Amino acid sequence: MPLLGKETISLTTEANNKLLHIRKHIDSAGKQGARERVCSSYQYENDAI
């Protein structure tokens, strides 16, 4: 049986907050990893030449 009204809203809000929290962690980890990837990709390109 589907949830109606406030129960549904509170569940989706909770889910959204968790997703946002996870995304923040992924984002900050991604930014750190991106710098390392950029550096290592330059290294690989230079090695290939």
Q: Are 36 and 28 in contact (CB under 8 A)?
A: no
Whole-angstrom distance, CA of residue 8 vs CA of residue 47 = 55
- Provide the pLDDT for residue 48: 56
Angstrom distance (rounded) from CA 25 to CA 47: 33
pLDDT tens digits, 1-49: 565 667 666 778 888 888 888 888 777 777 777 666 666 666 655 565 4
Encode burial over 26-41: b for 16+ CB neighbours within 10 A, e otherwise. Answer: eeeeeeeeeeeeeeee
The Cα–Cα gap between 45 and 40 comes to 9
pTM value is 0.40
